Structure 1
Amino acid sequence: MPMAMAGETRPRWVSDLSSPPAPRTKTNIPDPIGYPSHGSKKSSHKDPKAPKKAQTPEEMDTLKLKKAWEVALAPVKSLPMTFIMMYMSGNTLQIFSIMMVVMAFKNPIMGLISTNQAFERFETETNKGQMLPAKLAYVAMQLVALAVGVWKINGMGLLP
């Protein structure tokens, strides 16, 4: 079958794809709130191509301190799930309960060892003093996670 003959007409949808129809004129239906019409140059949204305003060092320190507190409180967010898994695994010596106990001790100990590495990306010369409470909270959260592991091995009868 030959490709396209010279006298053959194209379907309408092919010509619509190559040259889209003109936008419709404005009707009496108002634009939704927060969505200005395409024709207006005013927009409530920021221009994505506009250069971003440089942040001051004080703003950066505040943002870094906020992120450091998020890191400091992260260990306690996984604690409820760990606690439930420990409770559900039972108090007998089985491979699953032993693996849960090993993980309950390994993760907080590794977190305690790497405390400075967890916060070094947020620490600057100007916010070193403000970073200390976040580090102490991180250590406290890791110790709480260790306490859950101690509770589990006590329940298993492995503590004297």
Structure 2
Amino acid sequence: MSSSPPPPPQWVLDLKSTPSSKPKSSFPDPPGYTAPLSAKQRAQSSKTAVRQPPTEEDMDTLKMKKAWELAIAPAKQLPMNAIGMYMTGNTLQIFSIFMVFTLFKTPILAVIALQRTFAPFETPGTSGRLLGVKAVYILTNLLALSLGIWKVNQMGLLPTTRSDWLAWEGERTWSERAVPREWL
């Protein structure tokens, strides 16, 4: 008596069969859904819709938008830098000194490299409009620099009190004394 193996389960047959072009569903497509195009439909649509190259004015507008994004980028970093300065405390530690050094170094180097930074955006159509963008870039970097100066002051490293300058102060001359000078 020979017995044949049982037929495979339905899920095995479903995995081995090729998928249908569209799943059988009684639900309609959601609003805004477009079915993928077949290769033939894609070829026809690519022949009819040829992308026009952007005009010079469009490129200038896009370059100005990117230049403004670059100009306000240092201002976007200010809140994170301020939180970092607050978290390091006011004591002299290697971490707080490193953070303050970075706060001074980054804006200074950014202002020095100003022309190189905005060189990709320079065209005859944008050269006049880039002056305002560059001024905003310098101002945002000065804000970062002022955050570094504030932190150095909080750490007590800026000479802001009279006692910080005692080495350069002369001896006081008294107009009258309670005891003669020879007794002192």
TM-score by length of 2: 0.68
| SS of residue paired to 1:52 | coil
Change (3 A) 1:159 1:31: same
Equivalence for 2:13? 12
**Mean alpha-carbon deviation: is it higher for 60-69 or for 113-122?**
113-122
1:87-125 deviation per Cα after TM superposition (whole angstroms, max 9, x unaligned): 121111111111111011011111111111111111112
Mapping of residues 9-158 of structure 1, within 5 Å: 12=13, 15-16=16-17, 20-24=18-22, 29-37=27-35, 51-158=50-157
Structure 2 residue identity aligned to 1:133:
G
**Identical aligned residues as a percent:** 48
What CA distance in whole angstroms lies between the structure 2 residues aligned with 1:72 and 1:131? 10
Q: Equivalent residue of 1:100, what SS?
A: helix
Cα displacement (A) at 1:51: 4.0
CA RMSD across the alignment: 2.7
SS of corresponding position for 2:29: coil
SS across alignment from 1:128: coil
Q: Could you tell me which runs of 5 or more consecutive residues in structure 2 were left unpaired when the two chains were aligned.
A: 1-6, 39-44, 160-184
| Whole-angstrom distance in 2 between the partners of 1:92 and 1:65 | 43
Aligned residues: 143
Code of the residue aligned with 2:27 in structure 1: it is I
Letter in 2 for 1:117: R
Question: TM-score, normalised on structure 1?
Answer: 0.78
The structure richer in helix per residue is 2
